[in-house]
Amino acid sequence: MKPFLLACTMLFCLSISHAQVDEIKSASKNNSKKSGHSSDSDDGDGVGLDVFFFLFDGLGSLHTSKLQNRENYPSAISVDIALAGAIKPASYYVLQPRIRGNWGLFSTDFRMSYLIEDDVEGFKHIRTNDWQVLGLNLITNRFFTFRVSTGFMQEAFADHRYFSESAVALNVHAPDQSKVLGFEFRFAKDWDSGLNPRREFSVQYQHQIFQASALHGYVSLGGLYQRYYNSIDVWGVQGGLVFRFF
């Protein structure tokens, strides 16, 4: 078990993938049109407000029921800190520190994603800041969790542009949360050019290795695939550590 843990620790917040840093920067620059937003306003006859309050009341009731279900789903209120990535030898590294908070129905998730290339001139990299501002944990029970969320992706290079990004995640887990198999799909959109700055799919298995009061520690293994600007591929085998408080 010790060699396995050592290998996972070496992948601590590290991933190597197959992509082109310069190509991603070039694609971003070539599609750096200024974003414009327009909307049509309509005062309406009050129907919109009725629908809003109906949905708000429904979400509030669902949120309350999830908080009351902590005996069956102990991590309904939790904080996750993940340090994970992927590996494809002798190519690229991806560092992905991430934190997510869950509170019944609602969640929020922030990460930084570094793509690092070992070039003949030295290391070069790009970074994105990815914040799923609002997530809805629609299904939370002893065996499954299903979440949809929306937020933004920021390119922390070139023109530092922002794009809307949405995500869908499904976890299959043991009732005591000691083992988790997770799937996640992310989709960023450039509404000006119609291109997708990034699409991402990942699968990850988490296995609990220790527990100390409210702190649970996991090693993770899985796979990562990203596609930037409909043409530039990043992929690799994932590994890392996850710390969960609940």
CATH of residue 194: 2.40.128
The answer to whether position 38 is within a domain reads no
Structure tokens belonging to residue 208: 């609990």
Report yes or no: 25 and 160 within 8 Å, Cβ to Cβ. no
- DSSP state, residue 221: E
The answer to whether position 39 is within a domain reads no
Q: How confident is the model at residue 90 (pLDDT cuts 50, 70, 90)?
A: low
Which one-letter amino acid corresponds to residue 225? Answer: Y
The values of phi and psi at residue 19, to 5°, are -155, 180
pLDDT at position 22 is 81
Q: How many domains does the chain have?
A: 1
Instruction: Check whether 55 has a pLDDT greater than 80.
Output: no
pTM, two decimals, is 0.80
Q: How far apart are CA 65 and CA 57, in angstroms?
A: 13
Which 3 state secondary structure label does DSSP give 243?
strand
Q: How confident is the model at residue 7 (pLDDT cuts 50, 70, 90)?
A: very low
- DSSP state, residue 64: H
Instruction: Check whether 71 has a pLDDT greater than 80.
Output: no
Which 3 state secondary structure label does DSSP give 63?
helix
Residue 52's domain spans which residues?
9-32+47-245
Instruction: Check whether 198 has a pLDDT greater than 60.
Output: yes
Instruction: Check whether 187 has a pLDDT greater than 50.
Output: yes
Report yes or no: 169 and 183 within 8 Å, Cβ to Cβ. yes
The answer to whether position 41 is within a domain reads no
Question: SS3 helix, strand, coil % of the chain, rounded to 5?
Answer: 15, 55, 30
pLDDT at position 24 is 83
Instruction: Check whether 194 has a pLDDT greater than 80.
Output: yes
The answer to whether position 87 is within a domain reads yes
The answer to whether position 61 is within a domain reads yes
The answer to whether position 98 is within a domain reads yes
Least-confidence region, from 45-49, 78-82, 197-201:
45-49
